Structure 1
Amino acid sequence: MVGDLIINPLDDNYGMPNSDEVKPYHKLLNNNPVLTGLFDWQIENTRTYCPELALAFSVASMASLISGRWSYKGTLTSNLYIAVLAPTSVGKTQTMDLFSKILQDSGDENRIGADNFKSEGGMSKEVAENAAKTFMLDELGFLIARIMSPKASQTDTQIQRAILKMFTAFNSGYSPEAKSANSDNNKNNSVIKNACPSIFGVSTPDVFWSAFSSREAGTGFLNRMVVIEAKTIGKRKEPKNSPMPINVGEFVSSIYMRFNTVESGRLFISNDCKTLIDGVNVDKLFQSVTKIEEDLILSDDKYGCVYARLAELTKRVAIVFQVTSNINSTHIEYDNAQAAYDFVRFCLDYSYNSAVNSIKDSNIERLQGEVIKAIDEIKSDKSGNAQNYDGVTGKWIRERMLKRKSSINNDKESDAALTKMCRNGHIYRMEIKKDLGKQTYYYVKPDFLNEFEDVFKSHGYKLRNTINFE
């Protein structure tokens, strides 16, 4: 009976990482006490250990809090568009609640924006109200798919324009979409000064990357994003409901004391914006980053554009690292600039590799990607009975198993995708047959063809390389 069940309370640290597990992430945060404190706080207060989500939260929350209050040489501030790619039920909602609490405790609840973009006008109205508005968006991938679609409505096209333009509008201002010449609303289309909104969005990887083609990757949307994917998903655990770390609370309180005004009841956005300049040798570091950016762009005509804002994003994150390490800073110190580069490069390298492997311009390319993914994810048969192999992880897969694990079937597009892969040498289609038995087909990665042949020949099979799909 249910009443007879004995519930054993979990260890308080069940599902929590040990110190060695979090060290690489603390290092990416330059072992900054405020940022690592936020990282640990997020982990304690969510149901799943997901360090990449905690990493994104730490930087995004402080970037939002600082945005418009500190700038780099008066030209740009710390607003970021951060996308976290993770499966469901890893604590995304709880993380957004923690994000909101930081802004509320800073006295700037007005900085929290809507959780969806319905129109350019609505977004512009919110940013006009608070130039550093932060939009926390669930299912960001669906929004991107909608506004980036070749069939996007005029409303969605205007939203795309607003998101792109506002990212760099801190120094230049943002002009909302013009109304008709006779519109009474035309008077409301004045330039929004110091616009510096932030986006903290979450999505699943498949939904996010399916929203892009190589054409969209080059529009400037992707290179504005700092994309972090959850690679580590821990065990389910109980949130500790721990209070904000003392050092984080002190930093947030300092922001409140510096920028709160009795007259307005709101915090200044840019009226008292502090300017940071280069510390010793920081200008040389940023010059080197700019050269690296140029080289990376030229290295790949199709997806090198992912790195087009490497230097700019490095400067934005450097503001975050510097101010959270010393709120009285007047210069960006070298170690914070270097750490900012390391963090941004970590994220953009992921974006680039995922763009190359996940963005498909046609259904045939999508199917080809599914073939490789199926081979990489097939679980090896350990029985030792070769003719029963469904496949070997990362090496080869049986045709019937491929059709079970992908969209590959007997249609013309599937045949075209497989034929193209075989003719380009990306995979081999191997027929195996024993005496008068029925033939079976496998798809084999080139590097493992000899191993495949040895395994099946040792079991008495005859092998034939074929690209015939009839």
Structure 2
Amino acid sequence: MTTNNFMAQLGATLVDRGYAILPIQPSTKKPGMYRLGAWQDYPKWSRHCERDTTENEVDIWGDWPEAGIGIAAGRVIGIDIDVLQSQDLAVQIEGLAKRLLGDTPAVRIGHAPKRLLVYRAAQPFSGFKYPPIEVLGLGQQFIAYGIHPNTGQPYVWPVQTLADIAIEELPVITEAQAREFARQAYEMVPLALRPKSLGVGLKAPAEFANLPEQRGTFEAVQDALLFVANQDLDYDSWVRIGMAIKGALAEAGWPLFEAWSASSVKNDVKTTAKSWSSFAPQRIGAGTIYKLALDQGWVPAQDLQLNGEVVMNGHHPAEELLQALQTQSPITLDASSAAPVLPPPKPLPSGWDQVGGVIADMMALMATTAKRPQPVLALGASLCAVGALMGRKYRTESNTRSNLYVVGIAESGAGKNHSRMVINELFRRAGLLQYLGGNKIASGAGLIAAIQRQPASLFQLDEFGMFLSAAADRKRSPRYICEILDLMTELYTTSGTTYFGVEYASTQNNNAHRAIHQPCACIYGTTTPVHFWQALQASNVADGSLARFLILQSERDFPDSNEVFGVIDPSQALIDRLALIHQGGGQLGGNLADVGAIDEVLVEPRVVPASAAARAAFKELDQSMLERLRASQGTGYSSILARIEENASKLALIRAVSRDPVTPQIEDHDAHWGIMLSRHCAELTIREVRARVSENQVESNHKRALQIVRDAGGRGLSRSEFTRRTQFMDHRQRDGVLHTLAEARLIEVSTIPTGGRPSQWIKLPEIEEPYV
């Protein structure tokens, strides 16, 4: 096998230009992997849409023969003009795109006159279709270089190739702009050139919006199919109807599908029978057929039984949830309009970045060397790094330690990894690499082994939301993954004493029971908001594992870029000050704080005193928290409130040592700063938990759907856009959620007349007074 220089060289250039690439199977449009001498499908390729391509990946792919190069969409958006029959029309739509979206030089031709234009997303968004126009976004890809499977010829870039265009040079577009272009482009396409397909449920009456089961009756399905025409339909629509009939009637529906399919001139008897036998629908059924028929004017007789199942005792399936939404959710209701108002997220309090000392210098270094400065994430990373260096060397008068757990949240592509890179370089220059744990934790045993080796360790974890999703799923994840979160909770609590580990049988790993004196594990995880909040479960709130984390969310995901960035060259003064903290301010004198899990080691950290004003601030906090804890009893949020004071003490301790590691003292401004930041993080956590975290899947669907409507703002969003954003539900679940939320007056669903078929619009009810 020879090296694929095409991939190795061109791929590296594209990565340098800022594109996320992936390998494409030869002469296809599918991402692939080369294994055991043969090409096969690449099942998890879509992850490249949300992260950078690594040099190691390009090196590996360079050895795969004849691989094409695809571009993972998300940060870049592909405008696919899939018009083959008319050269003039394809050129006209390209012109429309350049007028509305910008004159991009990145135009790719595969099977002319079809063409694809490339733009940069102001903020990544999912793709959508207005056939034959398709906008390719998150979770999708397009071919940049390779052989077209139909023409047998290479893809060409007639104006300028992507390898010559940095991603920052592409015109920037928003999702709203892309949708407006697609709408206008679709109107330019003659009816004869538009694919014939069936939409589902665009204007069904409200009484059919919440069918409880997918099953139907033979008579109702037969009657409804008379209104579902089968004239030159596309294949996907034909399959959908077949699956809906089988989902509604099982094998008893075969005569109906056979007859309906035979009404088309394209019907093939053998293909119809073979397809029917392969259908195995689990979520699609009678509701799909009924809605299509209703769209075409079907009015079922009053005595016609539509559903094959009976709702038990007339009980509404979401009655308890409706009650919970009205009485227990964080949504407040305006007395006059009963409209839901969610408290808006509060910005970081003024002075959050006034930390001073070594941390301020580290944040400044991160800001000046980053392409896109992220000061909030820089603060979180610096706090954890200094906390690890202080581990087992400093404590407060109440024995609080510097072990800190922080989650930094920002969108994909916002520059979350730069702070970690700066920490790595600083520790390398200072000779402190022993403090750095792995970038991933594979098991609970792995975490304990790392702490045994180096009791004060910093773990900088990327994709923390994905890790949390696996660790919190005790039903499906293996025990060694779930143990990681449990051990994090235990290590946090035992930082001021001794951790004794787990007892195993003599044939297993006895080292796990080795005592670890005063462990100091600092964890800095980064993640996207969707991955993090969706990963949380109610159990994380109840068991206190979430309460131990300070959640810091970027104030601006995509700030202006620095003109000069990339080179990390810290001053010697900064390196020396980090080393001084590692040495305990030079006053530990023979202390064994860096020695691992040896029973004879007795660690004696320095006590950092607090001024009278600082002690008074913490006393006042304790009294106010006691009142809130009593008031929150039974709400599930007491664990988060209970950790505010402890996290504030940790923050004040780290800030004091960062300012003066030799003779540190916690002053009143340290205390107030720590209290301010800890409270903010707790309030953010409680707000998001109330809005997103659920006890079960049904409640989760309702909360996620309601959050999508909130995120759309006062204008709201169309039913089709809501459907696109709620692909985590099937159509029956989606209709039920909308029905329940509308009943609770948490949303309004209205019908808006258009030039053609009326459309539905979803938004929050209007209120008379804004939330204060």
Same fold (TM over 0.5): yes
Matched, 1:67 2:387: no
Residue 176 of structure 1: SS of its match in structure 2? coil
Cα deviation, residue 338, structure 1 = 0.8
Partners of 2:512 and 2:722 lie apart in 1 by 57
Cα deviation, residue 133, structure 1 = 1.2
For 2:575, give the aligned amino acid.
G
Partner of 1:316: 650
Partners of 1:217 and 1:184 lie apart in 2 by 33
Change (3 A) 1:141 1:259: farther
Residue 87 of structure 1: SS of its match in structure 2? coil
Residue 740 of structure 2: SS of its match in structure 1? helix
Return the match for 1:332 from 630, 651, 666.
666
Matched, 1:422 2:742: yes
More helix by share: 1
Return the match for 1:93 from 417, 423, 428.
417
Cα deviation, residue 105, structure 1 = 3.7
Cα deviation, residue 134, structure 1 = 1.2
Cα deviation, residue 408, structure 1 = 8.0
Asked if structure 1 preserves the Cα contact closer than 8 Å seen for 2:517 and 2:603, the reply is no
Cα deviation, residue 322, structure 1 = 0.7
For the aligned residues, what is the CA RMSD?
3.5
For 1:62, give the aligned amino acid.
V
For 2:647, give the aligned amino acid.
L
Partners of 1:449 and 1:74 lie apart in 2 by 49
Partner of 1:194: 518
Asked if structure 1 preserves the Cα contact closer than 8 Å seen for 2:405 and 2:550, the reply is yes
Partner of 2:496: 171
Residue deviations 1:396-448 (CA, integer Å, cap 9, x gap)? 333233223333877321122112211212112223559x9855432232226
Cα deviation, residue 210, structure 1 = 1.3
Matched, 1:283 2:615: yes
Partners of 2:377 and 2:468 lie apart in 1 by 20
Cα deviation, residue 332, structure 1 = 1.4
Residue 612 of structure 2: SS of its match in structure 1? coil
Residue deviations 1:185-232 (CA, integer Å, cap 9, x gap)? 436613111111111111111111111122222211100101111231
Residue 751 of structure 2: SS of its match in structure 1? strand
Residue deviations 1:112-144 (CA, integer Å, cap 9, x gap)? 111222222221121112111111111111211
Asked if structure 1 preserves the Cα contact closer than 8 Å seen for 2:409 and 2:552, the reply is yes
Change (3 A) 1:99 1:296: farther
For 2:763, give the aligned amino acid.
V
Partners of 1:306 and 1:261 lie apart in 2 by 35
Cα deviation, residue 110, structure 1 = 1.1
Asked if structure 1 preserves the Cα contact closer than 8 Å seen for 2:393 and 2:588, the reply is no
Cα deviation, residue 272, structure 1 = 5.0
Partner of 2:426: 102
Residue 208 of structure 1: SS of its match in structure 2? helix
Matches within 5 A, 1:194-273: 194-232=518-556, 233-237=558-562, 238-245=564-571, 248-256=574-582, 258=585, 267=594, 271-273=603-605
Asked if structure 1 preserves the Cα contact closer than 8 Å seen for 2:410 and 2:553, the reply is yes
For 2:685, give the aligned amino acid.
S
Return the match for 1:136 from 460, 472, 475.
460
Cα deviation, residue 266, structure 1 = 9.0
Partner of 1:293: 625
Cα deviation, residue 302, structure 1 = 3.1
Cα deviation, residue 259, structure 1 = 5.8
Asked if structure 2 preserves the Cα contact closer than 8 Å seen for 1:223 and 1:306, the reply is yes
Partners of 2:439 and 2:587 lie apart in 1 by 25
The farther-off stretch of 262-271 and 163-172 is 262-271
Partners of 1:261 and 1:445 lie apart in 2 by 60
Residue deviations 1:263-315 (CA, integer Å, cap 9, x gap)? 99995797452111321132222122223333444454033432221011111
Partner of 1:19: none
Higher RCO (C-alpha under 8 Å, 6+ residues apart) = 1
Asked if structure 1 preserves the Cα contact closer than 8 Å seen for 2:393 and 2:605, the reply is yes
For 1:446, give the aligned amino acid.
P
Asked if structure 2 preserves the Cα contact closer than 8 Å seen for 1:38 and 1:245, the reply is no
The farther-off stretch of 233-242 and 48-57 is 233-242
Partners of 2:508 and 2:718 lie apart in 1 by 67
Partners of 2:687 and 2:349 lie apart in 1 by 20
The farther-off stretch of 149-158 and 368-377 is 368-377
Matched, 1:447 2:447: no
Asked if structure 1 preserves the Cα contact closer than 8 Å seen for 2:403 and 2:495, the reply is no
| Higher Rg of the two aligned structures | 2
Matched, 1:80 2:404: yes
Partner of 2:45: none
When normalised by structure 2's length, the TM-score is 0.50
Asked if structure 2 preserves the Cα contact closer than 8 Å seen for 1:50 and 1:230, the reply is yes
Change (3 A) 1:442 1:342: same
Residue 441 of structure 2: SS of its match in structure 1? coil
Asked if structure 2 preserves the Cα contact closer than 8 Å seen for 1:37 and 1:245, the reply is no
Residue 447 of structure 1: SS of its match in structure 2? coil
Partners of 1:294 and 1:262 lie apart in 2 by 40
Q: How many residues align?
A: 419
Partners of 2:412 and 2:717 lie apart in 1 by 29
Asked if structure 1 preserves the Cα contact closer than 8 Å seen for 2:710 and 2:764, the reply is no
Residue deviations 1:337-381 (CA, integer Å, cap 9, x gap)? 111111222222222222222223344434434444444444xxx
Partners of 2:396 and 2:380 lie apart in 1 by 21
Residue 694 of structure 2: SS of its match in structure 1? coil
Partners of 2:613 and 2:715 lie apart in 1 by 48
Q: Which runs of at least 4 in structure 1 moved beyond 6 Å after TM superposition?
A: 5-8, 260-266
Change (3 A) 1:26 1:427: closer
The farther-off stretch of 248-257 and 104-113 is 248-257
The farther-off stretch of 66-75 and 29-38 is 29-38
